[in-house]
Amino acid sequence: MAAILLIEDDPLVRRGLQLALARHGHDVRTAETGEDGLREFHSATPDLVVLDLMLPGIDGIEVCRRIRQAGTAPVVMLTARGDDFDIVGGLAAGADDYVVKPVQPTVLDARIRAVLRRGNGVTDGVRAHRDLRIDTVALTVTLHGEQVMLTPTELRLLLTLSRAPGRVFSRQQLLEEVWEHDYLGDSRLVDNCVQRLRAKIEASPASPEYVQTVRGFGYRFGPV
C-alpha cells in the first residue's frame, strides 16, 4: 500500500480515481487546487503524487516544480489532451511519468507501482567515480561529500548507467530498464530525466563528466 496524494480539480474524476486507487490498496488523500495540493504535500509527506496538469490557480507544472524542489516523492502527471507541449513541460518540471486522461484505474495503478519500484532491486556495494559516490544499499548519492537528493527515477537511471561505465545504453534500453515499460519509444522521458540528473551531479551540465551523450546512440556513464 502506498500513501498517494491525488491533486485533481474535476470532482467526478477526483472521486472516481480516489475510490479506484483505494480498491487497489492505496491510502489516497486528495486536493482540488494547486495551493491545496502543496499544503497537503507538506503536511502528509506522501509516497507519490498523482497530479493533474490543468489546475485552477497554480497550474500543475508549477506544482510539480515546487514538489520537486521540496522533496523526492515521485510525480505521475495527468494530462487530458496528450499535448506534446504539456507533456514536455511536465517532464521538464520533474515529473517521473505521465498518463493521458481518460485513464483506466488499473493502468494508473500499474504505472504508480512501476514508479515506486524503481528505487528497489539494486545490487549491493558503493560505486565511487571521482568525486561521486553511489551507495546501492542505502540508495544515497554524494558529491564532494554532500548528499545529492535524487528522485527515484533519477536514482534508478544513475544506477543503471553507472553499473557499466563506458557502456552505451540506447534510449529504448533505458526506457525498458528504468521505466520498465515500452512507452512506444517515447524518448522524452529519458532525455528530460537526463537533463534533471545532470543539473544535480554535473559541475557543467553542458559539458557533462558523468552522464555523457553518444550522439545517434544514447547515453553512457563516463569512464573513470
Last residue of one domain, picked from the residues 98, 116, 134: 116
The cell numbers describing 64, all together, are 510539480
Residues 90 and 36 in one domain: yes
State whether 17 and 90 are in the same domain: yes
Q: Are residues 138 and 83 in the same domain?
A: no
pLDDT at 120: 46
Place of cell 558503493: 126
Give residue 189's domain range.
Answer: 119-221
User: Would you give per-residue pLDDT tens digits along the chain (224 residues)?
Assistant: 688 999 999 999 999 999 999 988 888 999 999 999 999 999 888 889 999 998 988 999 999 999 988 877 889 999 876 666 777 888 888 888 888 888 888 889 888 888 887 644 444 467 888 889 898 767 889 999 899 999 888 998 998 898 878 888 899 888 888 887 655 557 888 999 999 999 999 999 999 999 999 998 999 998 65
Q: How many independent structural domains does the chain possess? A: 2
195 shares its domain with 206 = yes
- 137 in the same domain as 63: no
In this structure, are 81 and 12 located in the same domain? yes
Q: Are residues 73 and 131 in the same domain?
A: no
Contacts of 102 (CB under 8 A, 6+ apart): none
CATH of the domain at 8: 3.40.50.2300
Identify whether residues 98 and 23 lie together within a single domain.
yes
Q: Which long-range contacts (CB under 8 A, 24 or more apart) does 163-166 make?
A: 163/123, 163/127, 164/221, 165/129, 165/220, 165/221, 165/222, 165/223, 165/224, 166/220, 166/221, 166/222, 166/223
Q: Which among 116, 138, 168 is the end of a domain?
A: 116
Joined grid coordinates for residue 71: 522533496
Mark whether 98 and 130 lie in a shared domain.
no
Which residues lie closer than 8 Å to 41 by C-beta, 6 or more apart?
Answer: 5, 49, 67, 70, 71, 73
The CATH number of the domain holding residue 142 is 1.10.10.10
Block residue for cell numbers 545532470: 198
Same domain? 84 vs 110: yes
Are residues 130 and 106 part of one domain? no
* Predicted local confidence at residue 59, as pLDDT: 92
Specify whether 38 is located in the same domain as 108. yes
Residue where a domain stops, chosen among 85, 116, 147: 116
pTM of the entire structure? Answer: 0.63
